[in-house]
Amino acid sequence: MRHSIFMKVLRHIVVLLLIACTVSARAAQDTLRLDSLRASLLTVTPGNDSYSLYGHTALRVSSPQGLDMVFNYGAFSPETENFLWKFSLGQTDYTLIVERMSDVLMWYTMEGRYVIEQQLDMRPDEVRRLFDAMRRQAATPGWTYRYTFLTDNCATRPVALLEEALGGTLRWREKTPSVTFRELIHQHVLPRHAWSSFGQDLLLGAALDTLVDQRAHVAFPMELLRMMGSAEALMADGSTRPLVVRTDTLNAGMLPTEDSPVADGWSEVLTSPLALALSFLLMVVVASWLQLRRRPRFATVLDSLWMVAQALVGLVVWFEFFFSALPAVDSNCLILLFTPLPFVWWLAGMLRRPWGGRSFYVAFVQPLTTLFYVVAFLALGQAVPLALNVLALSLLIRGATEMRYRKK
């Protein structure tokens, strides 16, 4: 899932070198014997950047004669025309780059990430089919595929290629627990990246909360690494054989030994989304208490700040809900909690409409949309972070308080 600005240039250079090596190999079979090719699956452990939280998967083809190439289906370039716009719409195209194994090992070692190799038990003709299929894609100008986070990514592509080369299917002997896609995401992101998990929960709706089959785990590189340990190839003739014959960590000696991680304790707790939501609830209680005692200034400021945050986040949530092709964003009940509607009431207030302004919105509109959210949340069964339900409670308290203050 790693990307680089210079990936596109690097890809063409490496492809030309690979083609030159291939032509040379075909001209002199003693230089590169076809039956000497070996294939293995590479897994890179997660990094700290948002795009690397789930790890990465690639395929390696090597030979004793010196060929040692890595085929990476997780590359894209931010230099792509209208990249950010396409990314927000779920229309990101990924490509294949071919790299030298030594470069891959050096890059990930510099990032402090382990590279784990699983050597595959494949016949020479099977490895050759795999090699030829990847080489054809790499040599095709502009070759891309439509990246889909949960179903078609850097981990699922190698599995599909392996099954095509084997002429069979991969069968996972290890049983996987019944989980949802959201639970899989949380397993790989929490607790170290609570805010990344919160951001994904904010955008991804109820469709993520249905149970998935064993095959769905393949989309997560670290899950695939574990499953490949017990994988077997089910051939067309009904025969089976274990696929992985050996597992090694290639750069284990290159990285410093990590001590047992020490929990950040209170600093980690106090900066979590739940802590922020509880702090907001406390401020709402204090502001509402002061307002009922004829001191509404704090409540006015707090409401205004919330309306700004709600409108800005709502623009993103609504845009993804109505326009994006990203999976599960169109089943998100949080469009009722985060909404750009404050812009409408600000405009109505500026135009001096009787139903415009902050007070009417907080007393009538916001409680109504929040109640609709509660109904949708219960009906859809969407797994919403506790912090957001604490936020919904805060908004209901503010609505009840503002309504009573207006009556007085």
232 and 95 fall within a common domain: yes
Q: Per the domain annotation, does 306 fall within a domain?
A: yes
- Return the percentage of the chain with pLDDT > 70, whole number: 88
| C-beta of residue 336 within 8 angstroms of C-beta of residue 373 | yes
**Which range has the top average pLDDT, 34-43, 232-241, 249-258, 312-321?**
312-321
**Do residue 15 and residue 85 come from a single domain?**
yes
Q: Scan for tokens 């302004």, then name that residue.
A: 357
Please say if the pLDDT value at position 91 is more than 80: yes
Is residue 391 pLDDT above 70, yes or no?
yes
pLDDT (0 to 100) of residue 32: 52
Asked if residue 54 belongs to a domain, the reply is yes
The H-or-E segment that residue 402 falls in is helix 386-407
pTM of the model: 0.84
Task: Look over the chain and give the mean of its residue pLDDT values, rounded to a whole number.
Answer: 88
Residue 167's closest CA among 238, 98, 222, 118? Answer: 238
Domain count, the chain: 2
**Is the same domain home to 238 and 287?**
no
Q: Is the pLDDT of residue 26 over 50?
A: no
User: What does the pLDDT average to over 117-132?
Assistant: 96
Same domain, 95 and 229: yes
Instruction: Assess contact for 165 and 130: CB atoms under 8 A.
Output: yes
Residues 134, 231: one domain?
A: yes
State whether 45 and 133 are in the same domain. yes
Classify residue 185: in a domain, yes or no.
yes
Is 383 part of any domain? Answer: yes
Residues 240 and 381 in one domain: no
Residue 106: CA atoms inside 13 Å, Cβ hemisphere, count?
Answer: 5
Do both 273 and 165 map to the same domain?
Answer: no
- Of the listed ranges 11-15, 143-147, 155-159, 227-231, the one predicted with least confidence: 11-15
Strand pairing partners for 99?
Answer: 70
Q: Which of 249, 274, 296 is the last residue of a domain?
A: 249
240-242: strand order across its sheet: 169-172, 231-234, 240-242
Q: Specify whether 48 is located in the same domain as 186.
A: yes
Query: Is it the case that residue 348 has pLDDT exceeding 60?
Result: yes
Q: Tell me whether residue 260 is in a domain.
A: no
Strands 145-146 and 115-120: unpaired
Are both 123 and 25 inside the same structural domain?
yes
Q: Clarify whether residues 245 and 271 are in a common domain.
A: no
The pLDDT of residue 84 is 75
Examine residue 345 and state whether it is found in any structural domain, yes or no.
yes
Residue 30 has pLDDT above 50, yes or no: no
Structural domain of 298: 266-407
Q: What percent of the chain has a predicted confidence (pLDDT) above 90?
A: 70
